[in-house]
Structure 1
Amino acid sequence: MKTIGYAASAAGAPLAPFHFERRTLRPNDVAIDILYCGICHSDLHMARNDWGMSAYPLVPGHEIVGRVSAVGPQVARFKEGDRVAVGCMVDSCQRCDQCRKGEEQLCREGMTLTYASPDRITGELTQGGYSKHVVVREEFVLKVPDSLDISRAAPLLCAGITTYSPLRMWNVGPGSRVGVIGLGGLGHMAVKLAAGMGAHVTVLSRSHAKEADALALGADALLVSTDEEAMAEAASSLDLIIDTVPVKHALDPYLPLLDVDGTLVIVGQIGPIEAPSTVPLMFGRRRIAGSPIGGIRETQELLDFCGRRDILPDVETIRMDQVNEAFERLEKADVRYRFVIDMGSLPG
């Protein structure tokens, strides 16, 4: 299938139109016309090879929503015209203990990423959702509830599941006390989802500047992390902290906020953090953990939950030819709170 997308040709190159071929449908494949694709901070990192694992040409995009255009003969769950979504992975071994229990993101052989990852059959590199079409095996395609606004749903496939998964893992519900560090693409979803689960939500920020936004998103309070007196008064007041900060930073200011057996979960930074003191860990039986995306079953659960609760990201919709400007703005955190590309703006 001939298609067109926007690709980075090298680490320092701007994204530009790129014509390429999607694979012919295998028996268990679903072909999708992409309607919208979210822009994730990891797209920026991968386009610029910040993590040293990119291969070019590279078509980013792993927050994909669209409609089924064709299905292979063995496909049973989808038909032409269905509203569907694809997230950060498009394959896994399907055999290991993690895959069998629905945790494909933790596949023992490694998941196949939606872009810049070798196809498990041909070895060709996958290409992402900044394009008109995509072909994905049935097991990694998700149903989009009719109640969700499809033009805003795309960031649920990464920002949504990245924050939903730890909230579910640590059993957040009514009465839970959840802190969220950072109020960007991930953080604003963490606030909305935790509030939707019935938790008392506190946003942790360096100033009061985002207080009105935090409360409007569903938070109950904003705690200024640079206010030593307020931080001391809040000691042992949280059960779970979702840390969405995407750069190296210190955890020490936040760990004393956790109650006994509380957990700080890192979902933003991939790489080094400043070395934490073990004192609050040892004397409060507190934990630091990490969490990636969720599995396919949990991602479908997220979409269904958001459909029932009418939870959607706050997005700014852009044209495909505005993607490089969006990358520049994303680097400056100049977006509330997620960019979504209208793929109808891409000719071809």
Structure 2
Amino acid sequence: MSSNNTINAYAVMEAGGPFQLHQIKLGALGATEVELDVLYCGVCHSDLSMIEDEWGRSKYPMVAGHEVIGRVTATGEQASHFKPGMIVGLGWNSGYCETCHSCRLGNHNLCTEARFTILTNGGFADKVRADMCSLVVIPEGIDLVSAGPLLCGGITVFNPLVQFNIKPTDKVAVIGIGGLGHLALMFLNAWGCEVTAFTSSEHKKKEALALGAHDTLNSRDPSEIKSASMSFDFIISTVNVNLEWDLYLQALKPKGQLHFVGAIVNPIQFSLFPMIRGQRSISASPVGSPATMETMLDFVAHHKISPQVEIYPMSQIEEAFKHLKSGKSKYRIVLSRKE
């Protein structure tokens, strides 16, 4: 199927620069590629990190955006199972090598040759292109306006539930009630777990309980954290700042696990003896594979879970990022092309 090979986008031309209207000229649509009209695109803190080159991996001009909900408009000859008009999602990766050991095991999210959507053709645009293996069909019953954040924030906190076999009988704690944390609370509650939220905000305590937490603890009160000694099977950290990790290790049961999904740039410190004595462990994970994303979307549709979002027209992308940087968003931001 033919395609218009010009994409109109909002790009940044240098680290930390403003968004500018920008046109991208593309070649012919690849055999396994799919082209989408962007309907909605979430705004993630990872977009900000890449735009400002916090991780030292950015390239400019950059069209960010990796929580894309779009409508199929064109397909390569091998991707014809994606029919025009289908609503699909695109997350952090827009393609995989498909030949490495991780890909062959179905762990596409661990592919070292995975192509970042942000570094190819991100969702802050009227169209995106991606390899067919990176796309997921959005099931009936999911609200399209708020679905984008599921494709990064949602899968980031859902993936550990699958990878580490979290059981409905487990006691699980979530550190940080923000873009990732609020989804973790909803997922874990629906999963059947007893859920505790670690937060430093009195206001967020009430919100955490409304989102699915059964209890809250003050993350800035060492005595309160110590009171939960040996309480949790699994603690998931969604924050991007360093905390007193030894306190959280001691809050784990024997064989408990402290898991990181929040991207902390600086090295973290912890003592080994609490881990040795209790056979506790520390782990981390990225987003999930397309197959796990499909499982998550089915779970979300079944339990009627929706991220809490604030909507901006895509033309107000600069204002949306100012709001993101203020730390006052509740809890995810979505750009809409329906002006």
Q: Same fold (TM over 0.5)?
A: yes
192, 197, 200: which one pairs with 2:186? 192
Amino acid aligned to 1:115: I
Residue in 1 that maps onto 2:62 = 58
Amino acid aligned to 1:103: N
Matched, 1:20 2:24: yes
Distance 1:280 1:210, change over 3 A: same
Post-superposition offset of 1:208: 2.7
Instruction: Name whichever of 221-230 and 146-155 sits farther off.
Output: 221-230
Contact 1:23 1:135 in 2 (8 A): no
Contact 2:37 2:70 in 1 (8 A): yes
Post-superposition offset of 1:53: 1.3
- Distance in 1 (alpha carbons) for counterparts of 2:27 and 2:295: 29
Residue in 1 that maps onto 2:117 = 114
Post-superposition offset of 1:76: 4.2
Instruction: Name whichever of 42-51 and 242-251 sits farther off.
Output: 242-251
- Distance in 2 (alpha carbons) for counterparts of 1:98 and 1:20: 32
After TM superposition, the score normalised by the length of structure 1 is 0.93
314, 324, 335: which one pairs with 1:330? 324
- CA-based RMSD of the aligned residues comes to 1.4
- Distance in 1 (alpha carbons) for counterparts of 2:315 and 2:86: 27
Residue in 1 that maps onto 2:197 = 203
Please show how residues 153-192 of structure 1 align to structure 2 within 5 Å: 153-192=147-186
Matched, 1:131 2:135: no
What's the CA shift string for 1:314-347, capped at 9, x where partnerless?
00011123222222222231101000000233xx
Matched, 1:92 2:79: no
Post-superposition offset of 1:39: 0.5
Q: SS of the counterpart of 1:192?
A: helix
Matched, 1:71 2:75: yes
Contact 2:246 2:270 in 1 (8 A): yes
Residue in 1 that maps onto 2:282 = 288
What's the CA shift string for 1:162-221, capped at 9, x where partnerless?
000011112123211111000111111111111111111110012433111001111111
Post-superposition offset of 1:270: 4.0
Contact 1:184 1:333 in 2 (8 A): no
Paired residue total: 335
250, 253, 263: which one pairs with 2:257? 263
Post-superposition offset of 1:248: 3.6
Q: SS of the counterpart of 1:151?
A: helix
- Distance in 2 (alpha carbons) for counterparts of 1:41 and 1:159: 10
- Distance in 2 (alpha carbons) for counterparts of 1:207 and 1:56: 37
Contact 1:35 1:343 in 2 (8 A): yes
- Distance in 1 (alpha carbons) for counterparts of 2:243 and 2:63: 30
Q: Which runs of 5 or more residues in structure 2 are unaligned?
A: none
Instruction: Name whichever of 312-321 and 152-161 sits farther off.
Output: 312-321
Distance 1:34 1:23, change over 3 A: farther
Matched, 1:213 2:217: no
Matched, 1:83 2:87: yes
- Distance in 2 (alpha carbons) for counterparts of 1:320 and 1:327: 11
Residue in 2 that maps onto 1:43 = 47
Matched, 1:148 2:151: no
- Distance in 2 (alpha carbons) for counterparts of 1:139 and 1:250: 40
After TM superposition, the score normalised by the length of structure 2 is 0.95
Distance 1:22 1:248, change over 3 A: farther
234, 246, 250: which one pairs with 2:228? 234
- Distance in 1 (alpha carbons) for counterparts of 2:10 and 2:80: 32
